[in-house]
């Protein structure tokens, strides 16, 4: 039975509706993980370090698509809840075309300035060459990646989350197969890994474009471009928290890499890369849930269904808590197998990765609540509060922790930093949820 945004949601319906979004975000995260696995095992440790060093920059540029998607879907869902389907489709169409154009501009700028950026991150010699080589190949497909990120949210607000999941699954499987063939069998190196990812992103962008451009039975259809500066600004403000979150995480990753280069050299960067790959997948569960529930929250907020808002918040808190415990347990159990999977060719590096992984695992007990709280306020079209939570969580608290804790606890302070930052972020999220409960009546 089809689930609609206007439905009343119990736990079962909530899980069924958000599960495709969780799958979409997890499989999107697997893109980088697959590249990392094949680069590490078939190209070499130095190239693996290069991918990890330049990846935060590539993620900063690509996440503008996620900003348009999350911020725009919140506005579109609210507009649908108010009963104006025609305006919702105008906003949707404008955001798709603006995102495509922005992708081209960002790709060109990134390709031109990538050598200088990589050098600022500390890359030199062979490491610098590999950073630029992989990064430029990746950026050639940036407009496609941005559209794919954007459509993950739009499929949900269109009440077609399953179609979004199938699209990402197809793209993800293609990425894995191409990596295995081009990098594993044909020894295509860094270029092969980036090209495989780019081709898979073509699937993730083209299928939604074709679906929404044709007559369909969803709530959204792609039409001609019509400028609406006010809606564009509102969408960007709504999605600024998600953009800030990803930019901050990328900036913090650069800081982590700089600290680890100082303490451990290339091995520290490689160990942190494994943690980030797993973190991307696990946090993808929380982000996917937030993306999946956001249109539902936005719709009922626009329709004035305050009782349903309260129920959605209560049920979501319980579900996020369950997810958090499961992620923590899984990360402890999988620390050793995953370390061997990525860096098993180096016993010293494997031991370092397992040690860091077991400390890092505690962050999964807390991060989901802050991620959900930020997404919840995005869905309520309060981009400012959402951005504040994300900014404090992903930048302020982590930067303070990564700079201060190593001074107090030595090198172990680097691995404890993320845990401490997530604890403080949850406290901030609770304060905002409590302070604004009367305003939004949830």
Concatenated DSSP letters for 270-293? HHHHHHHHHHHHHHHHHHHHHHHH
Element (H, E) at 237: helix 229-263
Smallest CA-to-CA distance from 271 within 332, 342, 328 is with 342
pLDDT score, position 338:
79
pLDDT for 94 equals 96
The rounded distance, in Å, linking the Cα atoms of 35 and 31 is 6
Angle at 27 between CA 424 and CA 19, to 5 degrees: 75
Cβ contact 257:52 at 8 Å: yes
CB-CB contact of 182 with 196 (8 Å): yes
Low-confidence spans in the chain with pLDDT less than 50: none
361 within 8 A of 328, measured Cβ to Cβ: yes
| Distance in angstroms (rounded) separating the CA atoms of residues 410 and 208 | 49
Q: How far apart are CA 402 and CA 262, in angstroms?
A: 13
- What is the distance between the terminal CA atoms of the chain, rounded to a whole angstrom? 28
**Residue 32: alpha-carbon gap to chain centroid:** 11
Residue 216 Cα to chain centre, angstroms: 28
For 3-19, letters b (16+ CB in 10 Å) and e give bebebebeeeebeebbb
DSSP annotation of 187: -
Local structure of residue 124 (DSSP, 8 states): -
Q: Report yes or no: 14 and 300 within 8 Å, Cβ to Cβ.
A: no
Whether pTM > 0.75 for this model: the answer is no
Predicted local distance difference test score (pLDDT) of residue 11: 94
Task: Name the strand (E) or helix (H) holding 434.
Answer: helix 412-435
Residue 399, CB-side half-sphere exposure with 13 Å CA sphere? 12
* Separation CA 406–CA 410 (nearest Å): 4
Determine which helix (DSSP H) or strand (DSSP E) holds 356, and give its type and residue range. Answer: helix 347-360
What integer pLDDT is reported at residue 422 of this predicted model?
A: 93
At 223, phi and psi to the nearest 5? -125, -160
Counting Cβ atoms within 10 Å, is residue 275 exposed (0-12), middle (13-18) or buried (19+)? buried
Contact by Cβ (8 Å): 309, 441? yes
Please give the pLDDT value at position 86: 92
Q: Where are the alpha helices (DSSP H) in 82-141?
A: 85-120, 125-139
What is the pLDDT, as a whole number, of residue 14? 92
Question: What sign for the dihedral angle of Cα 230, 245, 250, 346?
Answer: negative
Distance CA 143, CA 103 (A): 4
């Amino acid at each position: 039975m089809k689930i609609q945004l206007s439905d009343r949601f119990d736990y079962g319906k909530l899980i069924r509706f958000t599960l495709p979004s969780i799958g979409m975000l997890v499989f999107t995260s697997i893109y980088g993980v697959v590249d990392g696995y094949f680069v590490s095992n078939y190209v070499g440790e130095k190239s693996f370090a290069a991918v990890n060093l330049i990846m935060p920059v590539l993620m900063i540029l690509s996440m503008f698509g996620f900003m348009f998607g999350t911020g725009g879907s919140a506005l579109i869902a609210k507009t649908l809840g108010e009963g104006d389907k025609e305006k919702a489709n105008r906003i949707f169409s404008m955001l798709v075309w603006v995102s495509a154009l922005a992708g081209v501009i960002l790709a060109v700028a990134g390709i031109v300035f990538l050598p200088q950026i990589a050098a600022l991150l500390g890359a030199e010699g062979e490491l610098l060459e590999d950073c630029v080589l992989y990064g430029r190949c990746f950026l050639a497909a940036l407009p496609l990646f941005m559209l794919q990120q954007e459509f993950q949210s739009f499929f949900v607000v269109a009440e077609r989350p399953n179609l979004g999941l199938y699209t990402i699954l197809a793209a993800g499987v293609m990425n894995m197969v191409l990596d295995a063939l081009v990098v594993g069998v044909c020894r295509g190196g860094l270029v092969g890994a980036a090209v495989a990812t780019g081709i898979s992103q073509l699937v993730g962008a083209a299928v939604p474009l074709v679906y929404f451009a044709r007559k369909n039975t969803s709530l959204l259809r792609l039409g001609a471009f019509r400028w609406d500066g006010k809606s564009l600004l509102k969408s960007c403000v709504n999605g600024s928290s998600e953009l800030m979150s990803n930019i901050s995480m990328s900036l913090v990753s650069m800081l982590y890499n700089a600290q680890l280069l100082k303490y451990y050299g290339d091995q520290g960067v490689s160990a942190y890369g494994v943690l980030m790959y797993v973190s991307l997948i696990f946090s993808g569960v929380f982000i996917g849930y937030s993306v999946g529930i956001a249109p539902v929250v936005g719709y009922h907020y626009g329709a004035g269904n305050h009782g349903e808002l309260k129920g959605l918040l209560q049920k979501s808190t319980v579900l996020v808590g369950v997810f958090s415990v499961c992620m923590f347990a899984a990360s402890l159990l999988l620390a050793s197998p995953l370390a061997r999977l990525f860096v098993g060719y180096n016993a010293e590096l494997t031991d370092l990765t397992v040690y860091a992984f077991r400390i890092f695992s505690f962050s999964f007990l807390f991060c989901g609540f802050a991620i959900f709280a930020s997404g919840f306020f995005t869905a309520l079209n309060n981009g400012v509060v959402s951005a504040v939570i994300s900014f404090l969580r992903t930048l302020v608290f982590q930067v303070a922790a990564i700079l201060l804790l190593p001074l107090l606890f030595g090198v172990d302070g680097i691995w404890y930093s993320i845990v401490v930052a997530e604890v403080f972020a949850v406290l901030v999220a609770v304060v905002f949820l409590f302070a604004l409960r009367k305003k939004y009546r949830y």
